[in-house]
Structure 1
Amino acid sequence: MRTGVVADAIGDRLTIPLRLAAAVSRVPRLPGRSRLVRLIDLMVAGCRSYLEVFGVEHVFSGEGLPEFARQAPITAGGRTYLLDLFAERERVDVELDGAAWHGSPRQRERDLRRDAALATEGIMVVRYSYRRLVGEPDTVRLELSRILRLRR
């Protein structure tokens, strides 16, 4: 199944996860149905990109890691931000930076301003690139586990 196509359709606001869930529920015999249902469930729970789905499935779950809030709304500096993965107790925001959304100098400046605003609320932002997350999932998991332990 093409995870990116589903994530792009939701990200581009062509549909919403609940509408996809309803459509799939009406088709009991569909090739790859169980994987599609799992993907839609992750999208309903707040994943908004292929990178977030990959992170939840392969990196940011399991022993020693908290249950992260996905797309958690946090107000800082008079603005509300949606945090990709938020460990509330530790006050750590994990941002997954795909090049498509975070590659330009203008977007990088926005990210820096956002990180500074979140810091004023005591929130530490940890960013992982696509390359690092997909290429070094075990290293990323260990690094994040250490960060969370130190923040407790």
Structure 2
Amino acid sequence: MEHSGDAKQPFDHDGMVRLRDEIQGGVISRRQLRDLHAQDHDIRRLVRNRELTAIHPGVYVGHTGIPTWGQRAWAAVLACWPAALSGRSALPKPPERAPIEVMIPTSRTISAPDGVIVRRRARFDGYVDWSAYPPRQLLAEAAIDAASEAGGVNEAFALLADLVRAKAVRAAALVEALRRRPRMRDRRLLGELLADLNDGACSVLEREYLRRVERAHGLPAGERQVADSIAGTPIERDVIYAAYGLVVELDGRAFHGSAAARDADHARDLDATVARNLRTVRLTFGQVLGDPCRTAARVGELLRRGGWSGEVAPCSACLADSAP
């Protein structure tokens, strides 16, 4: 049996257009239409005239073409209302082709519409940005959820590091979000990733250098992501051992970048040597991941030439290679 709107109130068609197109990216729900005094025959007419096309049961988009990601996101939230985007769907750059992830309170149980993943969350009301369009999980919370669902350690770290490097969220906020998840799967691993972020490692290659080369071999702790300038041009150094006159740049670009980019890098290195007496070495994925022990030995030798009095310590891989 069909339900009728309030026949005493005329359908606010202009209000529908404003809500659908100016606020919700071209999407509106049946519930909202009813709040605008639409009766069932009004909705049938809008669908017949192609002003509305069903995208989920009870949710409509204002055209007959392929919905955009934003329209799919609005439709998922409205279909599961009250709900909010969550996980990867709540990040600044969500995956365009993946299902839309939404969260609802644990007090509710619903069937997920097609193309939507529904997660029930005890941490709901206080962890949603209701001022966002559409509403979404707070960014630090969403990042932790997304990292826990990543396909591996490097993917999880890259996801978190990209957000911190873009200044979308602070590492401290991620640490606090994880602290509130005492029973989360892989919590210890995520804690280690966030500790590396707090230590300044802001890419997968930087983290691997920190772990496999510097820490594993007892090298002195470098300063990371250091703001600098050469000939008035601001730059950011990956790792500086200032006391020993050494800069380590970690070159993770595919195919080493263009010839012009290589020339610019080496010109900056030369300027730093002349103006600041800072020697610069550039390390690649192969040197850090493929041969970290040899790389540590060479960096240690450069540090000793700069006055470091320590010794490069053998890591477990070094010891295994030297075993009879």
TM-score (normalised: structure 2): 0.44
CA distance in 2: counterparts of 1:106 and 1:28, whole angstroms? 49
CA distance in 2, matches of 1:107, 1:41: 31
What SS class does the counterpart of residue 60 from structure 1 fall into?
A: helix
Q: For 1:1-152, what aligned pairs fall within 5 Å after superposition?
A: 1=153, 2-62=156-216, 65-100=219-254, 102-119=256-273, 120-152=275-307
Aligned-CA RMSD value: 2.0
- Where does structure 1 lack aligned partners over 5 or more consecutive residues? none
Q: Which 10-residue stretch deviates more, 45-54 or 135-144?
A: 45-54
Aligned residue pairs total 152
Q: Which has the higher contact order (CA 8 A, sep 6+)?
A: 1
Q: Give the stretch that moved more between structures: 25-34 or 100-109.
A: 100-109
Q: Give aligned-pair identity as a percent.
A: 27
Structure 2, unmatched stretches of 5+, are 1-152, 308-324
In the TM superposition, what is the alpha-carbon distance from 1:62 to its structure 2 partner? 4.9
Question: Where does residue 120 of structure 2 map in the other structure?
Answer: none
The 2-side partners of 1:82 and 1:56 are apart by 17
How far does the alpha carbon of each residue in 1:95-117 deviate from its partner, in whole angstroms, 9 at most, with x for none? 11102495222321221222122
Q: Residues of 2 paired with 1:147 and 1:45: CA distance?
A: 22
- C-alpha deviation, 1:60, in angstroms: 1.1
Identify the structure with the greater helix proportion.
1
Q: Under a length normalisation based on structure 1, what TM-score does the superposition of the two structures give?
A: 0.88
SS in 1 for 2:174: helix
Q: Structure 1 residue 57: deviation in Å?
A: 0.9
Pick the structure with greater CA Rg. Answer: 2
**Which deviates more, 103-112 or 140-149?**
103-112
